[in-house]
């Protein structure tokens, strides 16, 4: 309204994209998860073993605790999510059936830190 004209989409986006040094902010404040984890395990199929109901004695629990569990924590996967959503995809090769309802309390009312995507729902 101040300029008295219609501003094109590309011009408006460019105005905001160049208003501050966002690329510099990103490079200065980004955290790479790969820098926070130990080296990747050599074994293949470890995740399948972890999600299997009958975990064999050959599973390396050190790898699970030091490599897989931190990744799950970083991406906010709970035991329930792993059991109900990820395990059926690994075992059966398709998405599990489930309710679309939201049965969690609102993220804005939580006293605990929440992931940004918890504040948005369908």
User: Mean pLDDT, consecutive 10-residue segments, the chain of 122 residues?
Assistant: 88 92 90 71 56 55 71 78 80 74 76 82 66
Please state whether the predicted TM-score (pTM) of the whole model is above 0.85. Answer: no
CA distances from 84 to 24, 29, 52, 87 (A): 40, 34, 13, 6
What's the CA gap between 72 and 23, in Å, rounded?
28
Q: Can you give the pLDDT at residue 9?
A: 94
What's the CA gap between 73 and 62, in Å, rounded?
16
Residues 6+ apart with CB under 8 A from 95: 88, 89
């Amino acid at each position: 309204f101040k300029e008295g004209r219609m501003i094109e989409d590309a011009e408006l986006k460019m105005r905001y994209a160049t208003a501050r040094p966002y690329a510099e902010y990103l490079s200065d404040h980004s955290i790479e998860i790969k820098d926070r984890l130990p080296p990747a395990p050599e074994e293949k199929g470890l995740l399948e073993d972890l999600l299997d109901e009958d975990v064999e004695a050959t599973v390396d629990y050190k790898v699970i605790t030091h490599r897989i569990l931190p990744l799950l924590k970083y991406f906010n996967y709970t035991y329930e999510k792993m059991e109900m959503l990820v395990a059926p995809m690994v075992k059966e090769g398709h998405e599990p059936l489930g309710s679309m309802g939201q049965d969690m309390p609102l993220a804005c009312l939580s006293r605990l830190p929440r992931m940004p995507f918890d504040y948005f729902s369908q």
